[in-house]
Amino acid sequence: MGGGSRPGTPGGPKTEPSSASTVSDASELKIGAKAFFEKDGEIRQAEILSIRDMARRQNIQRSAEDKPIERDEDNHLEYEFYVHYVEFNKRLDEWVPQARARLDKPVLFPKKKNKAPHAAPQQSARDKRRKTNAGTAIATATPSTPQTPDAARHDDSVYTATTAADTFSKEKEIEKLRTSGSMTQSTSEIARMKNLNVIEMGQFQVEPWYFSPYPIEYSYTPVLYVCEFCLCYYDNRTQYTRHRGKCALQHPPGNEIYRKDDISFFEIDGRRQKTYCRNLCLLSKCFLDHKTLYYDVDPFLFYIMTKRDDRGCHIIGYFSKEKESAENYNLACILTLPQYQRMGFGRVLIQFSYELSKAEGKVGSPEKPLSDLGLLSYRTYWSEVVVEHLIGFDGEISIDGLSRLTSFTTQDIMHALFNLDAVRYYHGQHCIVLSERVIDAYERFRNKKHRKIDPSCLKWSPKVFSQAELRYL
């Protein structure tokens, strides 16, 4: 699941805009400047993140510190700008030709802040005081006030990504991945330019939303071809066609644990199928902004949802789950591929994760923070299931009772109830009251056709891993 609703722009030196000025030529636009560009018939302000030569696309300026783009022998140069539209999601970032730049509008140029002259010596002194006996520095942070459950139940900051730009460390992220399953990283590291133009999978061509760490030789190619069965990738159609003639896979390389109609689920161990799971993570990173990937797939189980036809089982989406979660997370990462979105498959993935929790006899919750789309999907699912149980229940029921029926955590249930505005204080105690608006919305939902998981078709038993199997080094 992607980051917050409006992720920031790439990290770098902190800048502040100067007074607006006008330019007469596109060559005067610089990286970091905020200019106006035409987009879908509208004029939108956008920040320039990179500049390149439209004819010679390898001739590119990626940062303000790089040397300017050189002109060709004919002294001709037509610019192309990679822009981030202000107040819009990063998935809309794109390359735009200079013809779409509105030079008649004012431009805000960045101005670097002056650093405090004594900041570096003070930091160095602090580092010296933090030396351990082994001679390494200890990274510390200012402790924050603990958040009580009552305050967190209706606080979206618990569920969404934070915007603090902490120092990025690959070692710390890998250690966090091993110990707590967290796959989030600093926003300054993830907020980079998209490196792929189009991905072709089977009969679909999709445009990536975010950066994904594919090998550099596959980046910036017109089309990246991905086999929809083994997820191997190629930058050449001839190589891809040759591979498709030899690829023997017709379904994900795992155990089929669910089948009903044309929908199947496959369980894959990241330790046994490393190549497939790494390719899956590379693909999913194109559509998830706040996930990181260091090829460490051993701690996870992957559940792949597919749609069957006469040619095989085609991947629709997936979710991953820790083999051993200290926080009782039942889901680490979830994605429905863009070509299958808005068809109800995201809800099926979420429901399937809770069916596994019910089979384990546990309550579960997705790993926090959730992306913007992930939070909307989960909030809708929690609300629908909670209202369904409340309307169909005769008698009294507590939050703990709802938790046992749904396998939701009490915190997630309270989040859903506060979102529905269903918690009331009456005669000295809290009670749940469903308004007519909520009941009408549920009736409309129930009258629609929805894909659902049939628990009787699930052929699965909880995995038990030994200490040796949980040792990833």
| Angstrom distance (rounded) from CA 369 to CA 375 | 9
HSE-up of 135 (CA within 13 Å, CB side)? 0
| Angstrom distance (rounded) from CA 90 to CA 332 | 22
Q: Looking up tokens 């980051």, which residue turns up?
A: 3
Residue 327 bears catalytic tag: no
Residues 294 and 170 sit within 8 Å (Cβ to Cβ)? yes
Lookup: tokens for 382 = 């929690």
Q: Choose, from 367, 388, 443, 469, the residue flagged as catalytic.
A: 367
Residues 332 and 323 sit within 8 Å (Cβ to Cβ)? no
| Angstrom distance (rounded) from CA 400 to CA 37 | 53
| Angstrom distance (rounded) from CA 279 to CA 299 | 16
> What residues are annotated to the active site?
367
